[in-house]
Structures are given as C-alpha cells and as structure tokens.
Amino acid sequence: MIVTDKIYGSFRIDPVLAELVNSAPVQRLKNIHQGGAIFLVNPAINHTRYEHSIGVLYLVKLLGGGLGEQIAALLHDVSHTAFSHVADYVFDHNDEDYHETIFDEVINQSEIPAILRKYGLNSEFLFKQDYAILEQPLPQLCADRVDYTLRDLFNAGLISLRDIQRFLPELTLQDGKMVVRSEAAGQWIKDKFTQLNNEYFKKPEHVYANLMMAELLREALANNLLQKTELLNNDLEVLNKLVAHESTNRKLNAIKTLERFNQFHSKGAADRFKRRELHPAILV
C-alpha cells in the first residue's frame, strides 16, 4: 500500500500497516484535530491526528525503525479523545498524558489485536517495549516531537515545505537515538521548537479556544449532556452533541466568536503552560 502525506510525500508500507491504517481506530483520527479546538477560532489550522500518525510512521521508517516500532508509531495516538489534549484540561492532567492512561484499554477493546494476530503479532509489544526513535523525553529529538513540530509550524504558515525538505536529510541515528548531522540543523530545529511554543501553543487565541472548550466539556459532562465514553468519538460527533443543547450551543458559538477573549487574555492565560525547550544531540 502507498500512503501519501502532504509534507513528506508518498511511501510504501507493509501489509499489516496497511490494514491498521484502514482500521476504525486509525480512521477515526481523521476527525480528531491535532490542535484541539484551535480550528474553532482559526479554521485554516485543521490538520488531524491521522496526518500526524502517518507522519510519525514515515519518520520512524525513514530512520530504519523495525516493523514493531513502525506499528507503534502509527498507533501511538489512537487513544486521543475528541479535541486531542483538551481532555487533559478537562481531567486535570498537567503532564498532558490522559490519552496515555487509557491507551491499553482503547487498544484492547478495538479490532487492533485481531489484526496483529492475523500477522503473527501480539499486541503486548505496544505496551511493554520502549522505542527509542519514536519517543524520547524532552529536551531530546524523537519522531513524535519532530513531526508535530514541523507539521504544526507548516500548517500555521510559520515554515515552508522547502524548509522541511532541507531539514529532513539532517536527521540520523546515533546509538539508536535521533540526532542531527550539524550544529546549524540543531540550532534551526531548536529555534523552531521555541517558535512553535511561543507563537502557536501559547498564542492567546489558541489557548483561549482550548481552555474554553475544556470548560464547556466539563459543563456538558457534569450536566449529563455528554457521557465520558462519548469523548472517544470524534470531534464532529461531539460537536453535534454540543450543538443539540441550547446552553452548550450558545457557549460553543461564544468560543467561535472569541467572546470574552479580551478579559481572558488580560489574565495571562497563555502563561499557564510549562516552559518547553529542545536541545538536539549533534552527530559525533
């Protein structure tokens, strides 16, 4: 099967990956916005968890990750709820890891284990094995972090496809971990990660959209207008639930029109997020 990504182009994947791509849990990610509720205030920023998952798969494959790590890359975000990290604000997960706490359950209750068994694989490797290309703690590089950095910046108009194409050949492995070939490339991705945090994640309108959506979802859950299990539907399905009730529909429209944004901004809400920096290792 050939898959195509708008920033990396087309590439071939193994049959088990092809079947997983077409599975319901992965297809659901096509309707989960990567930026949470940002699309409500900036409709041009509408890329999805599906695109990100394909991109992380590409980077792991590009750097020689084995089939197990490629599968883990494709599936690493299948447990994200509607509106992605907004759930972390709903359930007070300061480390932004709510989807990780339900990952095993989501996988085991899906068709994924059966697909893996068809190819002689046991889904336990998804839970018990660490993959060095896929994930690393800050401030190191990894496929997940590199893809969302490039993808979010690109979709926000802060870098170009040419910038990405220049950077990708700089990626390589040393001792099994992602590094860059030159100081210049390391400085570039470090600066771009800082820009991503300052001009995208902490952009006041973006912070407003996500925190107001979290407030709205908490209200809907408290009033039984939405069930917690329904957060494992997609963004459109949850939006339809919110639109169906007068009170939540009114507040949803208030988010879209940035109602109370000036008061929200004055409270310094963009400073609620922890400081994050990237310090790429350089090939030696």
β-pair type (171-174, 9-12): unpaired
CA distance linking residue 43 with residue 153, whole number of Å = 15
Q: Take residue 268 and report the two structure tokens written for it.
A: 């310094």
More confident residue, 270 or 279: 279
Q: Closest Cα partner for 65 from 155, 130, 160, 158?
A: 130
Q: What is the pLDDT of residue 263?
A: 83
CB–CB of 177/284 below 8 Å? Answer: no
CB–CB of 221/15 below 8 Å? Answer: no
% of the chain at pLDDT higher than 70: 96
Q: Which amino acid is at 233?
A: N
Arithmetic mean of pLDDT over the chain? 95
2-201 belongs to CATH 1.25.40.20? no
Secondary structure (3-state) at 158: coil
pLDDT in tens, 168-204: 999 999 999 999 999 999 999 999 999 999 999 999 9
Residue 266, pLDDT above cutoff 90: no
pTM of the model: 0.96
CB–CB of 151/142 below 8 Å? Answer: no
φ and ψ of 95, to 5 deg: -85, 5
Q: Closest Cα partner for 147 from 94, 96, 77?
A: 77
CB–CB of 78/27 below 8 Å? Answer: no
Q: Domain limits of the chain?
A: 2-201
Query: Which residue has tokens 């190819």?
Result: 119
When pLDDT is cut at 50, 70 and 90, the band that residue 262 belongs to is: confident
pLDDT in tens, 65-118: 999 999 999 999 999 999 999 999 999 998 899 999 999 999 999 999 999 999
Residue 221, pLDDT above cutoff 70: yes
Q: What is the pLDDT of residue 160?
A: 98
Non-local CB neighbours of 114 within 8 Å, separated by 6+ positions: none
CA distance linking residue 91 with residue 97, whole number of Å = 10
pLDDT in tens, 138-157: 999 999 999 999 999 999 99
CA distance linking residue 198 with residue 200, whole number of Å = 6
Q: Is the peptide bond before 139 cis (omega within 30 degrees of 0)?
A: yes
